[in-house]
A and B are shown apart, each in its own frame.
Chain A
Amino acid sequence: MSLLEVSGLGISFGGLRAVEDVSFSVSPGEIVSVIGPNGAGKTTLFNMISGIYRPGRGSVRLNGQDVTATAPHLLARMGLSRTFQNLQIFQEMTVLDNVLAGYHLTERGPVWADLLALPSMRRRAAEVRRGARDLLARVRLDKAAEQEAGSLSYGALKRLEIARALALGPKILLLDEPAAGCNAVETEEIDHLIAELAASGIAILLVEHDMKLVMRISSHIVVLDHGQKIAEGDPATVSRNPAVIAAYLGTDAPTEDPAHADG
């Protein structure tokens, strides 16, 4: 059974139909990519699924439960986590504290225990701290743990967002352009990381402009153009689809990559 089921999802902004009647599903361990030209509605779609925008039409089901327009913090409790295209980092906190914030649901307790620093909180805090450092090591940021997050490079912040999203132990992870602004080596690392996460049973929904990355790791691709789904299928099928080639890949597709690589 699929973990995430999006059916007939749509939203309009002041009469403009930003996303219209989009349906697809994601199963555990699967990597589903959403691609399409700039302004196709990919991020808007993400914002509806993750509860930031309230969809005008259609429904989102998570684990069989209707979660359409559920608040983001409640979706997090149900195992949905995400990263952002335009970084949303807690800039003035340390790198470690950013990841620790991701453990909020695990480590939160009664407020008086926090105010009085009760010893009962300390053991859990130590466990969570170990987990956070492991996650940082996984995205190769362990050496920067005590630095202020705002001092990190763009690529490092992208990885930090992934670590923070993983901290809540998600069942499904929405990644919005995780490789944007990363060099070739970093992109390959993210590629491996995503494959690893999927192999561990996490469902991945990915928006990415790096076509090589998308074609290499996706099990299923959904193509959007002008807010509508124009094609879907496995990478080979999608890349041969004439509608997709016309709308997105075009004839001069190879020049797209360098343009976005320095994003």
Chain B
Amino acid sequence: MGTYQLFKKNEIFNGLYAMLLVNRLQMLYFFLIMPNILIHPYMIWVLIAVGILSQLNLLLLSKWLLTRLSSNGYNGFVQMFGKKCVRFLSFIGLFFILLKLSVITLGFSEIVQTFMLPSTDTNFLVFFILLFCFYVAGKGVEHTIRFVLISFFCTFWMITFFVFFFFPPIARLSDLYPLIPMEWKVENWKAFFLILSSYSGPEFLVFLGPWLKTNNKTFRYLSYGNALTVVEYVFLFIASLLYFGSNYLSKIQYPIINMARYFQNPVFERIDMIMLSFELFNLVFAVSLFLLLFYGASKIAFGKMSKPTSGKGLLSNVFLIFIGMVLMNELFWKSEEKQNFLLNLQIIAGSISYFLVPLVIVLVMKKRGVKKSAST
């Protein structure tokens, strides 16, 4: 690989891309297992409520994106926090990114193993997924961001299939009763944080400031993306309630995919396999973006900002991540109990990062007195 710049900035992406980025980063892995943890019909309201909360977060986020500092990338952050602090923060960020990367990749490869390639070792699948992602990430940030368009069009249409479950004989209104919680259990808090964590993802847009065109409409586009996610979550959750019923939901590990298995088509019998394969586009997009962020963060954390980016550097990062993932897979993911630990960790980490990142940035902005850029 040549000495090209992974992080160069040639063009700026408009609001539509921001919307798709928000939406696709929120629809990664958790939505596939979500109904299994939400279970009760009244969680529909929690889904919507947390969606509105996420809207507030996006408001804070858009405030940051509107400043001139955000479009300066690394230098902008240094101006805000100071060099040492940025190094420290990006060091912590490495763990967050690694955790998120691992959970979504391992989760997905386990699903692929369960439903498509039962005799394949998940480590192989992780290897291939990372190989794809390395290829995409190697094209640079711009191409990766543009890849969201492909990812969106490869995955969004799937949800229309699930309309099938909203009609009789499967649909029955009484499956959605009771609509209000009669008691609030401890598990419901887990569900609450799971939802919060599922909405996380857009906080990574903080670092994509240089590539996003920001103006008055930025917040609107971010909200569209978020609203689309809320609609998708609620839609899928109601569909799974109608199909499985509240009682059975807690017993089934991958509700959404099992629902896809019920589709029938005279040409393809296993539609779920095709849908899963398309869903991989979304995974590849997200993982590639996170790989680039990881690479960037590691450069900052180890003080190598002056050196130019290179394919080799990225490769070595990907290699490190691969080893990390294989270890996590062997040590945690393969046994159900420890996998739960990792999932819970990501649920908490996702919630924290989504909640804190925009908040802290806006607070620091206020303290430093950073104003919106003149261009607005």
A associates with B: no
